[in-house]
Structure 1
Amino acid sequence: MPRSASKTSKKRTQPDSVTSSATDPVPSASSKKKSCKEMDATDQLFYKYANTSSGVIDPEGIEKLCSSLKVPHTDIRILMLAWRMKAARQGYFTKAEWRIALTALKADTINKLKKALPELEKEVRKPLNFRDFYAYAFKYCLTEERQRILEIETICKLLDMVLGSTFRAQVDYFVNYLNNQKEYKAIDMDQWMGFYRFCNEISFPDMINYNLEHSWPCILDNFFEWMRSKQA
């Protein structure tokens, strides 16, 4: 047995508070300095696009950001970036929201952010994340206080952006239906989420497993009947 562990050893041991501090996960001065430096770089990048008067990145700043990233402002990855920021207001990014996303993406330069976009898209495309992103896309477009619905024109554009690459046929037919029907002028969140469920659960275009007795939003029952009439 080593001498330091022997019962007969006269060597004085350090108090528990001293010995435990050596193993406590306390950030070193160098790691703190690195973290602050990275945050400073993230903030500097933010101010490059922020409006000097309002202190936030506004629509014009987002246009500049998209230009730097070499992507159109309608690119779905910009919406994904807003989702990652948990941005509360369409077309505006606060510094706190900016920090959330860029810290998670480990991007403190425009080149790093550009390289992070494909990884962000992979993250969002995971089933559990994508459902949350899909719901967020609707809420992000609610620009007025107490607004609960989105007009059909907006819905059609949003569906094409968010679901078009995954459920092309369903989106095309549903958009066609929305543009030709007269009953609905706008869509609410329940109807929006119902269509996502429809895309994931219903065989298309035959829709043999769609049941009018199940709890689908009425607009989807009407869509189902419209599809059947076209197929007849």
Structure 2
Amino acid sequence: MERLCNDLYVDSTEFLVLLLAWKFQAATICKVTRKEFFHGCKTVSADSIDGICARFPSLLTEAKQEDKFKNLYQLTSQFGQDSEEGQQSLHREIAITLWKLVFTQNGPPVFDQWLNFLTENPLRIKGISRGTWNMFLLSLR
């Protein structure tokens, strides 16, 4: 993924990387397999680095659609879990980082309060379950 980001002139911490991982159906945000790369290129109708870059505006627009964003949001929590270890929740710090990433474009009004609450209660809140992750999105409606 780092090499792809370099080729695309995109910082690996940008929202666009999350979008690419989503569209490529990557198992992890940090790595894209050859199979995932070819699938992703087909999905975004691109056959070159320039073609992928040209799709960025449409990917950003697509991510603003409620149903697409929900899918992206749910996939984002999976990136932070260690599936090989059978992890069922996200470490609090990882969840905060992923929330900041997924809400880069459009943070909800309660977002800063939520992050402050999580940050100020490290002893009470050590992890974020998948249910809590998903309920946060539902609570925004």
Q: TM-score, normalised by structure 1?
A: 0.57
Which of 136, 142, 149 is the aligned partner of 2:89?
A: 149
Map of 2:14 onto structure 1: 75
Alignment partner of 1:64 is 2:3:
yes
Pairing of 1:66-145 with structure 2 (within 5 A): 66-145=5-84
SS of equivalent to 1:197: helix
Q: Which runs of 5+ in 1 are unaligned?
A: 1-61, 201-232
Whether the 8 Å contact between 1:90 and 1:143 is mirrored in structure 2 is no
Q: Which amino acid aligns with 1:139?
A: Q
Distance 2:65 2:88 in 1: 27
Greater Cα radius of gyration, structure 1 or 2: 1
Q: CA deviation at 1:124?
A: 2.2
Q: CA deviation at 1:168?
A: 4.6
Higher mean C-alpha displacement, 156-165 vs 181-190: 156-165
Q: CA deviation at 1:199?
A: 1.8
Q: Using CA pairs below 8 Å that are at least 6 residues apart, which structure has the higher relative contact order?
A: 2
Distance 1:197 1:119, change over 3 A: same
Whether the 8 Å contact between 2:81 and 2:88 is mirrored in structure 1 is yes
Q: Which amino acid aligns with 1:169?
A: P
The number of residues matched between the two structures is 139
Distance 2:37 2:28 in 1: 13
SS of equivalent to 2:90: strand
Alignment partner of 1:197 is 2:131:
no
Percent identity of paired positions between Structure 1 and Structure 2: 25
Q: Which amino acid aligns with 2:138?
A: R
Q: CA deviation at 1:141?
A: 1.6
Q: CA deviation at 1:164?
A: 4.2
Distance 1:150 1:121 in 2: 26
Structure 1 consecutive aligned stretches of length 4 or more whose deviation exceeds 6 Å: none
Distance 1:98 1:67 in 2: 15
Q: CA deviation at 1:172?
A: 0.9
Distance 1:90 1:117, change over 3 A: same
Higher mean C-alpha displacement, 62-71 vs 159-168: 159-168
Which of 129, 132, 138 is the aligned partner of 1:188?
A: 129
Alignment partner of 1:175 is 2:111:
no
Whether the 8 Å contact between 2:89 and 2:128 is mirrored in structure 1 is yes
Q: TM-score, normalised by structure 2?
A: 0.90
Distance 2:104 2:30 in 1: 22
Whether the 8 Å contact between 1:164 and 1:171 is mirrored in structure 2 is no
Whether the 8 Å contact between 2:15 and 2:104 is mirrored in structure 1 is no
CA offset digits 1:58-100 (Å, max 9, x no partner): xxxx222112211110111111111111111342212221122
